[in-house]
C-alpha cells in the first residue's frame, strides 16, 4: 500500500484548536517520483520524518534538499511546497496536530536548527516505527483517539530529548502555584498550614504572604474552601454519614467539622443535605 492514514474525528477542528495539544492525523506514504504537495497553507502543524529516499523543501522560493534521516516541519498558516525526487522518491511518515501549546512546541523545535524548517540527521527509524503502526488505527473507534494522542506526546517527548530543547510549554510553576497544587492534591490529608510550610521548607508566615500576593486569599482560607466544596458535593450526592465525610476531610471530630461547615455555609451538614434533597425533589 502506497499510503496509510489515520484521521482523528473525535472532535471538531475548533474543539481541537482550543485544547492544549490534539492530534489530527498520522500517516505514511511511499511517494511517486516527482510527487509534490502545495504550495498551500493549513490550520494545523505537520512534522514529516523522511524514512528513505530524498526530495526538496521550498520556503518562499528558497529550496533545500531533504534526505533520509531528516525531518521537516510545516507550521500552521505557513505556505510551503515540498516534492519527492524524480529518481529516488522519499518514503515519509508524518503527524499533524494543533492546540494552544502546539505553536510553542513547533517554535522550540525550529529554534534548534539554522535551517529553521529542517532538522538534520535524526534517528527517524524509531519515529517511523511508531507512526507506521499508528497510521493503521481505525477512525471512529473509541480507543484510537487515546492511542493516537499518546503517540503525539511520545513523538514530542522524543524530539524534545533528541534535540535537547527546553520547550516553553513546560513553564516552571511559581512557589505559590506549587503550594496551591499541593493543597489541591493533598487537601484531605492536610490539617494545618504548618504542615504545608514544613513540606516546602519555608516559614508559615512567608508561605501565607506569597500565597496572598499571588491569589488574593490566604492558604488557610483556600484549604478550608476546598474541603467545604468537597464536603458539599458528598452531602449532595451520597448517603455517607456526616462523621465519615468529616473524616474524609481530615477532621476526626465531627462536631468541629459541623461547626466549620455551618460557619461557611450557614447550615449544619444535616440541614444542608436535607435542603438539597428537598430542592431536587421539588424540581422533578
Per-residue pLDDT tens over the stretch 43-60:
899 999 999 999 999 987
Res 187 pLDDT > 90: no
Res 155 pLDDT > 90: yes
Query: What's the confidence (pLDDT) of residue 171?
Result: 57
Query: What's the confidence (pLDDT) of residue 138?
Result: 85
Q: How far apart are the first and last CA of the chain?
A: 58
Instruction: Determine the average pLDDT of the residues in 233-261.
Output: 89
Instruction: Determine the average pLDDT of the residues in 129-140.
Output: 90
Res 232 pLDDT > 70: yes
Query: What's the confidence (pLDDT) of residue 167?
Result: 65
Instruction: Determine the average pLDDT of the residues in 168-176.
Output: 70
Confidence of residue 218 (pLDDT cuts 50, 70, 90): very high
Instruction: Determine the average pLDDT of the residues in 185-193.
Output: 87
Query: What's the confidence (pLDDT) of residue 78?
Result: 86
Res 269 pLDDT > 50: yes
Alpha-carbon distance 87 to 144, whole Å?
Answer: 36
Mean pLDDT computed over every residue of the chain: 89
Instruction: Determine the average pLDDT of the residues in 60-77.
Output: 90
Confidence of residue 281 (pLDDT cuts 50, 70, 90): low
Confidence of residue 284 (pLDDT cuts 50, 70, 90): very low
Query: What's the confidence (pLDDT) of residue 168?
Result: 55
Query: What's the confidence (pLDDT) of residue 249?
Result: 85
What are the strands of the beta sheet with 36-40, ordered from one edge?
36-40, 80-84, 54-59, 62-67
Alpha-carbon distance 134 to 147, whole Å?
Answer: 8
Res 118 pLDDT > 90: yes
Instruction: Determine the average pLDDT of the residues in 187-210.
Output: 92
Over pLDDT 90: what percentage of the chain?
Answer: 58
Res 207 pLDDT > 90: yes
Amino acid at each position: 500500500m502506497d499510503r496509510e492514514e489515520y484521521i482523528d474525528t473525535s472532535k471538531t477542528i475548533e474543539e481541537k484548536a482550543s485544547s492544549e495539544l490534539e492530534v489530527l492525523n498520522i500517516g505514511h506514504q511511499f511517494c511517486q517520483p516527482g510527487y509534490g504537495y502545495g504550495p498551500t497553507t493549513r490550520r494545523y502543524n505537520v512534522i514529516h520524518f523522511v524514512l528513505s529516499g530524498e526530495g526538496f523543501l521550498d520556503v518562499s522560493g528558497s529550496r533545500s534538499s531533504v534526505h533520509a534521516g531528516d525531518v521537516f516541519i510545516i507550521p500552521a498558516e505557513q505556505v510551503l511546497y515540498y516534492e519527492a525526487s524524480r529518481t529516488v522518491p522519499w518514503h515519509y511518515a508524518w503527524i499533524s496536530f494543533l492546540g494552544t501549546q502546539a505553536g510553542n512546541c513547533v517554535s522550540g523545535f525550529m529554534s534548534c536548527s539554522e535551517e529553521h524548517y529542517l532538522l538534520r540527521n535524526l534517528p527517524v527509524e524509531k519515529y517511523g516505527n511508531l507512526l507506521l503502526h499508528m497510521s493503521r488505527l481505525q477512525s471512529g473507534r473509541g480507543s484510537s483517539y487515546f492511542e493516537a494522542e499518546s503517540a503525539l506526546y511520545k513523538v514530542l517527548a522524543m524530539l524534545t530529548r533528541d534535540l535537547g530543547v527546553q520547550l516553553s510549554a513546560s513553564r516552571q510553576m511559581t512557589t505559590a502555584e506549587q503550594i496551591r497544587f499541593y493543597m489541591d492534591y493533598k487537601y484531605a490529608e492536610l490539617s494545618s498550614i504548618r504542615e504545608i510550610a514544613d513540606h516546602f521548607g519555608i516559614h508559615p508566615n512567608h508561605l501565607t504572604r506569597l500565597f496572598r500576593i499571588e491569589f488574593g486569599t490566604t492558604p488557610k482560607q483556600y484549604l478550608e474552601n476546598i474541603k467545604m466544596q468537597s464536603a458539599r458535593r458528598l452531602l449532595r450526592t451520597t448517603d455517607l454519614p456526616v462523621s465519615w465525610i468529616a473524616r474524609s476531610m481530615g477532621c476526626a471530630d465531627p462536631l468541629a467539622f459541623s461547626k466549620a461547615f455551618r460557619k461557611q455555609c450557614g447550615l449544619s451538614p444535616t440541614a444542608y443535605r436535607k435542603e438539597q434533597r428537598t430542592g431536587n425533589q421539588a424540581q422533578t
